[in-house]
Amino acid sequence: MQASDKAVRELGAFASVWTAIRAEATDLATREPTLRALLETQIIGVASDADIIAHVISARLAVASVDTEDLFRLFHGILLERADICAAIEADILAVRERDPACTTCLHALLNLKGFHALQTHRIAHALWINGRHEIASWLSNLASLVFGPDIHPAARIGSSIMLDHGSGIVIGETAVIEDEVSILQNVTLGGTGKETGDRHPKIRHGVMIGAGAKILGNIEIGAFSKIAAGSVVLKPVPAHCTVAGVPATVVRIHRNDEIPAETMDQNI
Ligand SMILES: CC(C)(COP(=O)(O)OP(=O)(O)OC[C@H]1O[C@@H](n2cnc3c(N)ncnc32)[C@H](O)[C@@H]1OP(=O)(O)O)[C@@H](O)C(=O)NCCC(=O)NCCS
pLDDT of 39 reads 93
Sign of the four-CA dihedral 232, 234, 240, 245: negative
Same domain? 115 vs 146: yes
Q: Is the pLDDT of residue 267 over 50?
A: no
Rounded Cα–Cα distance for residues 170 and 212 (Å): 9
Q: Is the pLDDT of residue 199 over 60?
A: yes
Query: Whose CA is closest to 248, among 236, 258, 238?
Result: 236
Rounded Cα–Cα distance for residues 3 and 46 (Å): 24
Same domain? 96 vs 187: no
In a domain, 41, yes or no: yes
Residues 135, 21: contact at Cβ < 8 Å? no
pLDDT of 8 reads 63
Which 8-state DSSP code applies to residue 4? P
Residues touching ligand 1 (Cβ under 6 Å) are 185, 211-212, 227, 229-231, 243, 245-246, 252-253, 267-269
Ligand 1 atom with least separation from CA of 227: 3
65-105: per-residue pLDDT in tens?
777 778 888 888 898 898 898 889 889 998 998 999 998 87
Q: Whose alpha carbon is nearest atom 11 of ligand 1?
A: 268
Query: Whose CA is closest to 190, among 181, 180, 205?
Result: 205
Same domain? 68 vs 175: no
Q: Is the pLDDT of residue 2 over 60?
A: no
Which residue from 183, 252, 253, 255 has its CB within 8 A of the most atoms of ligand 1, so it is best to mutate? 252
Q: Whose alpha carbon is nearest atom 41 of ligand 1?
A: 211
In a domain, 133, yes or no: yes
Ligand 1 atom with least separation from CA of 243: 7
Q: How many domains does the chain have?
A: 2
Same domain? 97 vs 24: yes
Rounded Cα–Cα distance for residues 165 and 150 (Å): 10
Region 172-183 average pLDDT:
98
Residues 257, 223: contact at Cβ < 8 Å? no
Chosen domain end from 150, 185, 220: 150
In a domain, 160, yes or no: no
Q: Whose alpha carbon is nearest atom 46 of ligand 1?
A: 212
Choose between 88 and 215: higher pLDDT.
Answer: 215
Q: Which domain holds residue 83?
A: 2-150
Q: Is the pLDDT of residue 11 over 70?
A: no
The SS3 call for residue 39 is: helix
Q: How far is CA 84 from CA 31, 90, 241, in A?
A: 26, 10, 28
Query: Whose CA is closest to 225, among 181, 266, 190, 188?
Result: 181
The CA angle 216-221-225, to the nearest 5 degrees, is: 95
Query: Whose CA is closest to 132, among 32, 42, 201, 65?
Result: 32
Mean of the per-residue pLDDT values of the chain: 89
Q: How confident is the model at residue 269 (pLDDT cuts 50, 70, 90)?
A: very low
CATH of the domain at 25: 1.10.3130.10
187 CB-near residues (< 8 Å, 6+ apart): 168, 169, 170, 212, 213
Rounded Cα–Cα distance for residues 98 and 161 (Å): 10
Q: Whose alpha carbon is nearest atom 20 of ligand 1?
A: 229
Using the mean position of ligand 1's atoms as its centre, give its distance from the Cα of residue 135 in Å: 41
In a domain, 162, yes or no: no
Same domain? 184 vs 222: yes
Rounded Cα–Cα distance for residues 106 and 51 (Å): 44
Q: Is the pLDDT of residue 139 over 50?
A: yes
Rounded Cα–Cα distance for residues 172 and 211 (Å): 15
In a domain, 269, yes or no: no
Q: Is the pLDDT of residue 214 over 60?
A: yes
107 CB-near residues (< 8 Å, 6+ apart): none
Same domain? 144 vs 187: no
Choose between 213 and 120: higher pLDDT.
Answer: 213
Same domain? 125 vs 63: yes
12-64: per-residue pLDDT in tens?
677 778 888 899 899 999 999 999 999 999 999 988 888 888 887 777 666 77
Same domain? 182 vs 254: yes
231-253: per-residue pLDDT in tens?
999 999 999 999 999 999 999 99
Same domain? 36 vs 119: yes
Which residue from 267, 268, 269 has its CB within 8 A of the most atoms of ligand 1, so it is best to mutate? 267
